[in-house]
Amino acid sequence: MLILISDSFDPSLPGRLEPFGEVTHDKNRVGEATVVLIRSKTKCDRAYLDAAPNLKLIIRGGVGLDNVDLEYAKARGVTVTNTPQASSVAVAELAMALMLAACSHVVEGHNGLKRGEWLKKQLKRTELFQKTLGLVGAGRIATEVGRRAAAFGMTVIAYDPYVSSSDVATMTSLDDLLARSDYLSLHTPLTDETRGMVNQEFLAKTKSGVIIVNTGRGKCVDENAMASALENGHVACYATDVYTSDPPPDDSPLLTAPRVIMTPHIGASSKENLLRIGDIVVEKIRAFIEA
Ligand code: NAD
């Protein structure tokens, strides 16, 4: 059995998988692979699946499965599975880091010093304490963010049409959430319903001066509408880990809009999370072989 490791995993994983079969990183051998391990980079579309006649199992280390053609995989008899429980803490900590970086002007202060500018008077910080955080989506990651935000003294509210109660947030309607939130943190999967959800109409309902953090999916945001709202000052900061494509194209409006903080899709990339993902991958391959 050939196991193809197509994206980045913990360096210990190949050694741990050797008892199960041959392990390769050579993407040209996809045609021989029985198991393919991916994260968000590899796109398992129809052409990819057609090039992999021996494929039986795709394991996506991480949460979203929007980079796999699930319907075609099913039709081809390929099992697709992921490790959704592993990444919540890692992504939630990045969402908190982005929120704190936004209200404390960490990036502007740092860049100023690098340019030889002492921006002490210009950079007026604000606190998370006693502010309202609106979670869009109330799933695993949002719950971890809500828990941490509560420890900072924030009031946490959430909108999720598929969740009626939350341990960490008061559920409310989308309009109420947008009207009340000083911070919005986006945690929805990419679906037909959420694609472009954060558009001009959505942004118009938010508070002036809102800080928006996105560790969900880039395509849930209309980046042109976001850039306009940053340029006209309505949105105080857009802090994002995710883009319409990885990396964002050279003409992405986010690269030139003011007060954007960007990280290169590293929400799930903590060392600890990669180890957790590795543990789950090993167990899933063991179960696949024993089935
Ligand atoms: P989850 O399934 O536990 O939570 C997602 C929540 O979104 C669910 O409760 C669902 O009901 C809700 N939802 C669906 N449609 C909605 C809508 N239209 N409006 C509001 N809520 C809606 O998933 P999770 O583990 O919390 O992950 C959330 C997302 O985070 C993933 O789908 C993925 O896109 C993203 N993610 C990003 C990174 C990163 O590296 N930045 C890493 C992992 C996951």
Angstrom distance (rounded) from CA 218 to CA 242: 5
Q: What is the 3-state secondary structure (H, E, C) of 239-287?
A: EECCCCCCCCCCCCHHHCCCCEEECCCCCCCCHHHHHHHHHHHHHHHHH
Ligand 1 midpoint to CA 176 (Å): 20
Residue 2: pLDDT over 90: yes
Q: What is the pLDDT of residue 55?
A: 98
The CATH number covering residue 126 comes to 3.40.50.720
Ligand 1 mean position to 33 CA, how many Å? 30
Tell whether 99 and 224 lie within a shared domain.
Answer: yes
Residue 135 CB–ligand 1 contact under 6 Å: no
Residues 283 and 168 in one domain: no
Q: Domain check: are 169 and 45 in the same one?
A: no
What pTM does this model have?
0.94
Q: Are 129 and 208 part of one and the same domain?
A: yes
- Residues 124, 19, single domain; the answer is no
Sheet holding 2-5: strands in order across? Answer: 22-24, 2-5, 35-38, 57-60, 79-82
Spacing, Cα 40 to ligand 1 middle (Å): 14
109 lies in the same domain as 178 = yes
Strand partners, 160: none
The closest-lying atom of ligand 1 relative to the alpha carbon of residue 137 is 21
Q: Are residues 20 and 157 in the same domain?
A: no
231 and 275 in a single domain? The answer is no
Distance of alpha carbon 22 from alpha carbon 266, whole angstroms: 29
Mean per-residue pLDDT over the chain, rounded: 97
Residues 70 and 97 in one domain: no
Domain of residue 179 covers 88-262
Predicted confidence at residue 53, as pLDDT, reads 97
DSSP letter assigned to residue 207: P
169 in the same domain as 238:
yes
Q: pLDDT digits over 249-274, tens only?
A: 999 999 999 999 999 999 999 999 99
Number of domains forming the structure of the chain: 2
Residue-level pLDDT at 254: 98
Which residue is closest in CA terms to ligand 1's atom 38?
A: 267
